[in-house]
Structure formats: structure tokens, C-alpha cells
Amino acid sequence: MVCSLVRRASVCEHSFSKEIETRCGRRRGAMAATGEVRVPETFGGRMIGSPEGAGERRVIFHSDMNAFYASVEQAERPELRGVPLVVGGHEELRHGIVLAKSAQAKAAGVKTGEALWEARAKCPGLVVVPPRYEVYQAYSAMARRIYYQYTDLVEPFGLDEAWLDLTGSLPLLGGDPARTAAEISGRIKAELGCTVSVGVSWNKIFAKFGSDFRKPDAITFITPQNYRCRVWEAPVSELLYVGAATRAKLHSSGIDRIGELACASPELLRRRLGKIGLVLRAFARGEDATPVKPYDQARNEVDRTVKSFGNGLTAPHDIVSASDAKALVYLLSESVAQRLREARFRASTVSIGVRSARDLASYSRQTTLRRATNVTGVVARTAWGLLAANEPLDGEHPLRGLHVRASNLEPCDAPQQLELAFDARRRMLEDLDETIDDLRRRFGNTCIQRGAELLDESLLGLDIKKENVVHPVGYFYD
């Protein structure tokens, strides 16, 4: 199986290279290399265009599991294979959008993020299944266990994507990146029942571009010999961190392809986009030297500095009363404070996010505490105070969703300024939270709830902490 995959990867690589070289031969002459201009050495704590990476040819894989949620459902339930399938949110809770789609649903025109009723109109035989995040997390962990058999440098980018640095381990694996990529792809398919697209390059940005270049179940190499045609010919929106707003700004400057971004004037990019413009130029030129951050299995996340903890929810119905709003605020605060304690942090800043049901407009408010805390009652009362001070909470101003966030963190073992008077109530609340946490570890998060959380019957039994999904880590984390 591995041999056939290697042959397929080699044949595809050769045919794609010939096709692209022919197609863009004329453009290559037009894109004469401009003079080298030094880019910022750091951005958001990450090294960009660092001299340390200039002469070193790393071997970076980016593995992207195709249609992940839908693929897992089809792997778990063979009767769903080959049928148009989407994983959709709970319509009764007003979360009825397409979260993931199978290849058959994609062929029918179904798009991720659209409403389920729109998807059904496009595909009358569509099968909709609810999300099962604990199953997806288990499959993500199984995929990482396979990756770890090839390198210890594995950096997840969400549940379904990961970078692997095989620079040091590849010589021990035979020295052939095509064979190793094919072996990983084959094992994921055989052991998990899912397919992956693998991009291989000397930097993380181009490796991710490669995994997106051909889908599904493909292996794509972005090399120093082919990147000017393969990458530079692509629309600028294909580059990581070029969204709709950035694309519009670049288009207004006559920059529509990645190659045009790579050859653009640094002064122009700085003026139009600020510092990020020079970073994107470095990305386009293949000058990204950011390392693959190792995955900390003990903490179950990439080893990084956590800056905040938050939870938000679109309410099952419009919030039109103070009691319903208070129930949701306390439910969200419960999850935030519990996660703070699990990670051994205290927060000095509490903020809320509010979304109107009328026009879906959003705003946020925050306040700084006199003393950092991870006590549920303190976080909840602070968040509730912010909401009550900014919203009338009546039928004329309905709310669609709320968000609670704790930030400005410090470790629990950090020293705190002592109070002149002993705060017996605070100590009692800390002991109460510790007892509740112990009960929830043993019997589940819904085994005990606060009275304020029972004011809205539609929220009964809802485990916000369990359903909280950690989204892809930003590329520019510290």
C-alpha cells in the first residue's frame, strides 16, 4: 500500500510540476526578483525571516484530515459512507448550521457555515447528524499518536490539522520524505478510516499551502524549485492570514496573486497593512522560519502562554428577561472559572460580549478586579454586573447570545497583596469551589448546579464546559 502511494505521489508530483511550469513560464520572467529587504525579525513573539533559517532546508509536513467531522462519522457508522452527509448544529438550540460536509454533500453544492435548511434545499436526500466533539477529540488524539511515531515535534492547528518537523528524524526513517508522507497517509486511512492531505515544504506556511493545494487524500511538495510557479501563481487569498479585508486592500493596490505580494514594495505594504504587510510578504517569499511548537501531552495543548479563558453561547431563545440573562451569565461564568482553576490561573479582568437579537450587532465591556480571582461567584457577579449596567433586559431589547471571558492572568502560586482584614467569605467560596470541582470530576459537570442557573428551563442539563471547543491556535501566539 505504501509503495503504491509513493508511486502515486511521485507521478502526481511530476505531472503537476510539468503542467504548472508550462502554464506560468511567461509569468516567471515578468516576476523578476526584487532586492532583498529585511523584514521584521519578530511578530507576536514569532521569528519571521530569521537569518537562522535562511540557509537551512527543514522538512516540514502539514497534515490536514479531510472533511474531518463528516469523515469521523462515516468511519464510525459504515452505513453513512457514500451518502451526502453533514454534521450540523442543534436546530432546536438555534445552532442549525453546517459544521462539516462529506464529499457527496460538497458535490451537491452544500457549503460549510450555511443554514441547514439551505443545505437541505440544495440536497433533498441530505443526512444530518449532530456533532460529537468528544469523538472528534479522540480521533484527533489517535492521529497525533501516529505522528509521534515519526517525530516529537508536532504542533496541532485545531483538531484536524498539525505541523510535523521531520528535519532531525527523517534520516532515521530512510531519508525519503515522499515515502514517509505516503506512509503516514496510509496509516491514517487504515487505522482511523479517514483521509489526509499532506503538504511538504521547508517552512510551515508553504507546507500548509501544500496540504490545501490538492484535496482529498493527496501529497503535495512545495520546493525551492517549484514554489514560484506553484505558490506564486495562486490567488493571494490562498495564503495563511489573508482574509477578505486584507485581500480587498491588496487588490486596491493591484496585488491579486501571491507572487505579486512577494515582489511588492515593502514600503507600500507597510503603508497599506502595517507591520503585518511585511510579515505576509515574508510568508509569500518562503522566508518564514517559525519553529514547530511541540505538543504538551500533559496539558493537552500546544505549549504556549494562555492569555484568557472564555465561553460564549447563542441562547436557545431570545433573552428578554433579567432572570434568563442571569441564568446564562452564571452558566458561562461557571465554565470559565472552572477552567481557570483546572489550569491553575487567576484572572484580574472579567469581560462580557453581547449580541443583539434584532440586528446581530455585538459589543463588549470589561472591568478590572482589585484582586485576581478564579472564584466562580466573583466571576459571575462581576459579569452580571457588567451586563445589568449596559442592558435594560426587557422585551424591547432582546439578546441572542452572551460571552464571558477572564483575562489578565497570573499563576495561582503568584504572590498576592494581603488584606488588612481576613476575608473569611472569600476563603469559604474557594473551599466551596474546590468541593464542587471534586464532585464534578467524579460525577460529571451537571451533577450539581447553582440556583441562578435553574432560572431558565431551556438551559437545564446543558454542559457548556464539556461542549466548549478549543479552536485553532493562532499562528502568532507567544
Band of residue 458 on the pLDDT scale cut at 50, 70, 90: low
Return the beta strands (E) in 295-448 as ranges.
295-296, 301-302, 308-319, 345-356, 362-373, 399-411
Q: What is the pLDDT of residue 476?
A: 55
pLDDT exceeds 60 at position 22: no
Catalytic residue among 155, 161, 334, 391: 161
Tell me the H-state helices in 343-405.
376-390
Name the nearest CA neighbour of 323 among 447, 459, 463: 459
Q: Is the peptide bond before 216 cis (omega within 30 degrees of 0)?
A: yes
The Cβ of residue 20 has, within 10 Å, a number of other Cβ atoms equal to 16
Q: What are phi and psi of 31, to 5 degrees?
A: -95, 65
Higher pLDDT, 416 or 420: 416
Query: DSSP letter at 60?
Result: E
Pairing relationship of beta strands 308-319 and 196-201 according to DSSP bridges: unpaired
> Do the beta carbons of residue 278 and residue 295 sit within 8 Å?
no
Q: What are phi and psi of 100, to 5 degrees?
A: -160, 155
Report d(CA 232, CA 20) in Å as an integer: 11
pLDDT exceeds 80 at position 201: yes
161 is catalytic: yes
Q: What are phi and psi of 26, to 5 degrees?
A: -70, -35
Q: What is the pLDDT of residue 459?
A: 63
Q: What are phi and psi of 83, to 5 degrees?
A: -110, 155
Q: What is the pLDDT of residue 95?
A: 60
The Cβ of residue 248 has, within 10 Å, a number of other Cβ atoms equal to 9
Higher pLDDT, 382 or 52: 382
Q: Each residue of 221-242: pLDDT tens digit?
A: 999 999 999 999 999 999 999 9
Cα within 13 Å of Cα(255), Cβ side: 28
Q: Each residue of 317-352: pLDDT tens digit?
A: 888 889 889 989 998 999 999 999 998 999 999 999
The Cβ of residue 149 has, within 10 Å, a number of other Cβ atoms equal to 12
Q: Give the H/E segment covering residue 270.
A: helix 266-273
Of how many residues is the chain composed?
Answer: 478
Q: How far is CA 141 from the centre of its chain?
A: 16
Name the nearest CA neighbour of 35 among 264, 249, 342: 264
Q: What is the pLDDT of residue 75?
A: 95
Band of residue 305 on the pLDDT scale cut at 50, 70, 90: low
Report d(CA 478, CA 476) in Å as an integer: 6
pTM above 0.85, yes or no: no
Exposed (0-12), middle (13-18) or buried (19+): which is 179, by Cβ within 10 Å?
middle
Q: What is the pLDDT of residue 41?
A: 42
Q: The dihedral of CA 388, 390, 394, 395: what is its sign?
A: negative
pLDDT exceeds 90 at position 466: no
